[in-house]
Structure 1
Amino acid sequence: MESDTQPAKTPPAYEQIKRYVIRQIEAGTWRDGDMIPSESELVKQFGVARMTVTRALRELSGERVLTRVQGAGTFVAARKYEATLVEIGNIADEIAARGHRHRAHVLSLDESRDPAALEALGLAHGPAFHSRIVHYEEDEPIQHEDRFVNPAVFPEYLKQDFTQYTPNQYMVRVAPIQRAEYRIFAQQADAALRRLLRMEIGEPCLMLWRRTWVGTQVATSVTLSHPANRFQFSGSF
């Protein structure tokens, strides 16, 4: 019987160069302010046309991963939030601010070809990266995080230890969010979610769905679920 499975398509050359640059930054090989190899060196390294390298570096500059200085070279951009960027709250910091201990239990960390997730991330082809994590305040489960991630923005995502830091903390270091959209709503949790969050039958679940961008690329799509009797959203602007 013939299989319907199609072989994974090789990313275009400019995308491979972008991923290479991001990997060097994530690994700490290239740090804030470091000059990266010249276009000529990258052309030789990857065996591609100069216009391919130029496109990769131009897009990374537009996404604020790199800074290009005419006559001087291309440098790793400083990884800092700016006033114009979107600030996303971090559950570990929120719990610490209340004087409590945060811990995380990683349920899964793998690839996904979920059609709805790929559509939300704007990916024509999979896979996306997928993580499911339960966050605890002391010993009470307070949040279930169901996150899909664009591999082009965070290529090293699956290698992270999210018991030591949250996905939010990791992503802020790699590529600060510049735009976000979200919805807050309440709904009944299914049996699996009730077990994870130790909720009673009929207890409402407070949900936040959020999609974020880095530059022109959708970076993540996440659904955060909370037991309504133990959690509330608050903020000011």
Structure 2
Amino acid sequence: MRCAGLPLFLVCGTRLAYPSGFPTRTLATGEANKVPRQTAQPTVETLNEQGPAPRYLQLKQFICRQIDSGAWPPHHRVPSENELVELSGVSRMTVNRALRELTAEGRLVRMQGVGTFVAEPKSHSPLLAVNNIADEIAEHGHRHHAEVELLRAELAGPERALAMGLQERERLFHSVIVHYQDNVPVQIEDRFVNPALAPNYLEQDFTSITPNVYLQRLSPLTSGEHVVEAVTATPEEAQMLQIVRTEPCLLIRRRTWSGKRIVSVARLLHPGSRHRLEGRFGEPE
């Protein structure tokens, strides 16, 4: 599979990818890009106004308010640990805990040697629907594009044949596509398709139309199955998603039917820091 051209940076011996839009350091010259100045600062007085909660929690709440209000938009640079210590009057350990927890929660992105920045909000998908990822990305004001890593015919092994309702060594189609939100990869779509329902699948340009849209035109879906798991990516998948090997990922295993025949079996892999699933059941009274 093709992995060239990925914008990776080497940090402490680990290949680490930075999402597009965040400031980066020019390694050849050591000259950093300019970042916006802060528009609000935590002070001893503002923290005291938040009552008896622990100081690290008060600092987290202050930062979240700046993010939620729009005062600190995505990619905005947060004051450094030293600046926060001086401004808020709390210990460095307290500041470090607040920033560390907000990073783990996906609200901040910390870049070694560069700074701490407000994270881009995660994209999300309905848990029980089969939606087109290009539409989901566009609905949130971003640009979708895709790169086709693999598109070919294969013979079904025993496990794949069972999953797709085919006979062993029957022909099937296999595609691997990386979907991007702006310039950041957010999903690897690894899909097997029944050729009887989409005989021209291998002839499609999946940089201009998604497999979801193409298959729905040919064989409207009547039912589906989702299995959701927390996994880590393989080294090759981590390269395609531009993430460190240890980052948790969300994996959706999806089978879809048109009538009584299985249309496709897909494995949809998302970086945990860039995606979430959500669902709603019933109507509020």
Task: Answer yes or no: same fold by TM over 0.5.
Answer: yes
Q: Is 1:218 the counterpart of 2:262 in the alignment?
A: yes
Moved over 3 A (4+): none
Question: 1 CA distance for matches of 2:131 and 2:272?
Answer: 18
1:182, CA displacement in angstroms?
1.3
Residue in 2 that maps onto 1:207: 251
Q: Tell me if the contact between 1:141 and 1:197 (Cα under 8 Å) persists in the aligned partners.
A: yes
Q: Is 1:141 the counterpart of 2:185 in the alignment?
A: yes
Question: 2 CA distance for matches of 1:117 and 1:137?
Answer: 30
**Paired residue for 1:181, among 219, 225, 230?**
225
Residue in 1 that maps onto 2:66: none
Matched letter for residue 174 of structure 2: H
What percent of counterpart residues are identical? Answer: 43
Question: 1 CA distance for matches of 2:129 and 2:272?
Answer: 24
Residue in 2 that maps onto 1:160: 204
Question: 1 CA distance for matches of 2:191 and 2:255?
Answer: 10
Matched letter for residue 165 of structure 2: G
**Paired residue for 2:145, among 94, 103, 114?**
103
Residue in 2 that maps onto 1:118: 161
Cα deviation per residue 1:153-194 (whole Å; 9 max; x = unaligned)? Answer: 111111111001100011111111101111001111110000
Specify the SS of the correspondent of 2:278.
coil
Q: Is 1:193 the counterpart of 2:237 in the alignment?
A: yes
Question: 1 CA distance for matches of 2:227 and 2:149?
Answer: 24
Question: 1 CA distance for matches of 2:207 and 2:136?
Answer: 16
TM-score, L = length of structure 2: 0.52
Q: Tell me if the contact between 1:177 and 1:213 (Cα under 8 Å) persists in the aligned partners.
A: yes
Residue in 1 that maps onto 2:213: 169
TM-score, L = length of structure 1: 0.62
Q: Tell me if the contact between 1:121 and 1:150 (Cα under 8 Å) persists in the aligned partners.
A: yes
Specify the SS of the correspondent of 2:276.
coil
1:114, CA displacement in angstroms?
4.0
Q: Tell me if the contact between 1:134 and 1:141 (Cα under 8 Å) persists in the aligned partners.
A: yes
Question: What are structure 2's unaligned runs of at least 5 residues?
Answer: 1-127
- Counting matched residue pairs gives 152
